Amino acid sequence: MITLVNLNKIYRTKEIETQALENINLNIEEKEFVSIMGPSGCGKSTLLNIIGLLDSPTSGELFLDGVEVSSLSDKVMAKLRNRKLGFVFQNFHLIPALNVLDNVELPLLYRSGVSASERRKKALAVLEKVGLSHRTKHFPTQLSGGQCQRVAIARALIGEPAILLADEPTGNLDSKMGAEIIDILTKLNREGTTIVMVTHDEGVAGKTDRIIRMSDGNIL
């Protein structure tokens, strides 16, 4: 489902060049739940962002479902990102001025042909899935960290992505709330979603199918 071939990422600023990823070769199967571990700065987020089409490699190839993505136009790539990929971040990235329901509905606003009532129905369904259907009118500041992350997961799910990418989704949560988030991700994975998750927590990583260990831009 996800294949990287000889992939490199070099960040260039005026003074310095950083090779964040060095000749990465990786294959992730459909319906796999994979975690990525490694020390700070080893390239985990860079790898996840490239898989998620949020950043582009300096060289090498990325295939999503057999399609090499660098050849796609920006428009097709944006559509692919919206349709196929869901993101969850450590800091939730919710919009403070929007309530829970509006935050969750947001990705569908960028999709043509979805009516307001359909949007609402889907938002309520994904909120139900993460156990938050009783908090639809709350704003992010009125929620706990674990609840915020569940809203973020609901928002990632509303587009029914085949692939969910999570960058330290439990990083800002205590162990109990973290465990709840991992339970939700495990359930989603059993329902067929391919998940790639960055984590610093060995216990969390131990619950996934496979741990990919990175060091200094390389996969060990």
Ligand X SMILES: Nc1ncnc2c1ncn2[C@@H]1O[C@H](COP(=O)(O)OP(=O)(O)OP(=O)(O)O)[C@@H](O)[C@H]1O
| Residues of the shown chain interacting with Mg ion in the complex, contacts defined by CB under 5 A | 45
Which of 45/193 has CB closer to ligand X? Answer: 45
Stretch that binds ligand X, among 41-49, 64-72, 143-151, 184-192 (CB under 6 A): 41-49
Q: How far is the CB of 214 from ligand X (least distance, A)?
A: 7
Residue 22 or 102: which CB sits closer to Mg ion? 22
- Answer yes or no whether residue 166 interacts with ligand X by CB under 6 A: no
Among positions 4, 34, 37, 42, the unique one binding ligand X when judged by CB under 6 A: 42
Q: How far apart are CA 156 and CA 104, in angstroms?
A: 8
CA within 13 Å, CB half, 105: 17
The answer for residues whose C-beta is within 8 angstroms of residue 64's C-beta and 6 or more apart is 1, 2, 51, 80, 84, 163
- Tokens matching residue 150: 């569940």
In terms of residues, how long is the chain?
220
Neighbours of 18 (CB within 10 A): 14
DSSP state of 36: E
Nearest to 219 by CA among 42, 41, 14: 42
Q: Which does residue 112 touch among ligand X, Mg ion, none (CB within 5 to 8 A, set by kind)?
A: none
Q: Which residue in 20, 28, 69, 104 binds ligand X (CB under 6 A)?
A: 20
Q: Of these, 14, 15, 40, 117, which contacts ligand X (CB under 6 A)?
A: 40
Shortest Cβ distance from residue 156 to ligand X (Å)? 19
Cα dihedral 204/167/80/30 (nearest 10): -20
203 binds, among Mg ion, ligand X, none (CB under 5 to 8 A by kind): none
Instruction: Choose the binding region for ligand X from 44-52, 110-118, 119-127, 181-189 (rule: CB under 6 A).
Output: 44-52
DSSP per-residue letters across 92-108: ----TTS-HHHHHHHHH
Rounded CA-CA distance 106/60 in Å is 33
Q: Please, which residue, 105 or 167, has the CB nearer to Mg ion?
A: 167
3-class secondary-structure state, position 61? strand
Nearer of residues 16 and 97 to ligand X, judged by Cβ: 16
Q: Does 43 bind ligand X (CB under 6 A)?
A: yes
Give the interface with ligand X as residue ranges (CB under 6 A): 11, 13, 18, 20, 38, 40-46
